[in-house]
Amino acid sequence: MPVKPDWTSKKGGIVNYEYNQAEEEKLFETVIDTKRVAKVVKGGRNFSFSAIVVVGDRAGNVGVGYGKANEIADAIRKAKGKAQKNMFKVPIIKGTIPHEITARYGASKVIMKPASEGTGIIAGGTARAIFEAAGIENILCKSLGSNTPCNVVKATVLGLQSMRTLSDVAKLRGKSVAEITGQEAK
C-alpha cells in the first residue's frame, strides 16, 4: 500500500512531504529467512544476501516478498517493499480458516486445518509467521516434504489464496447461501 504525500503545505516554493505514518505503522513485518548466497565468477566468489519477509495487518491482509542485495539491510528493505505490493486478503471465520486445504509448491506440501477456539497456532516457524501476520488465531498446519523456507512459504501462500468462503461458493454456483447449506426458507 503506497503512502501518499500531503501536498497542502508549501513553504517558499518547497513542497514538504508529510507522509501518513499511521497507515504504515499498522503493518507488522517478520523476517522469515535470510541467507548469504554466492555467485562464482572468474575472479572468485561474489557474495550477496537474500531475505524473505512477511507483512500483514493482523486483520486478514498478508503479503510475502523476496529480496536480494549486497547488504542484508537492503535485501530486507526490498523484500518488505515487494511484500507490501503483493498483499492479498485471507478469509478468516471466527479466528480460523473456513475449510481444510492441502497446498503444494515444488517438493513442499502444506496441510492446513481449521481449529476450535483456544487451540492457537500449531505450525512450524515458517508458516506460523504468515498466520500471525494475517491475524489467524487458531489453526493446525503440517509441513510435509521439503522444508526449504522459500517453498514452504510459497505453498502456504497458495493455500491461503485458494481459500473460499461459503458466500464465494454460492456466488460461483449462482445460488444463495441458504440453497448451498440446505436450509431453505420455509
Domains belonging to the chain, first-starting first, are 10-85 (3.30.160.20), 90-169 (3.30.230.10)
Of residues 9 and 183, more confidently modeled = 183
Q: How many CA atoms lie within 13 A of 96 on its CB side?
A: 19
Q: Which residues lie closer than 8 Å to 1 by C-beta, 6 or more apart?
A: 23, 27, 84, 87
Would you state the pLDDT for residue 106? 94
| Per-residue pLDDT tens digits for 28-37 | 999 999 999 9
Q: The pTM is what?
A: 0.81
Q: Is the pLDDT of residue 154 over 50?
A: yes
Spatial separation of the C-alpha atoms in residues 52 and 79, rounded to whole Å: 6
Spatial separation of the C-alpha atoms in residues 102 and 110, rounded to whole Å: 6
Q: Is the pLDDT of residue 14 over 80?
A: no
And the C-alpha cell for 138?
487458531
Amino acid identity of residue 65, one-letter, is G
Q: Which of 86, 91, 93, 75 is nearest to 153 (CA)?
A: 86
| Per-residue pLDDT tens digits for 42-100 | 999 999 999 999 999 999 999 999 999 999 999 999 999 999 999 999 999 999 999 99
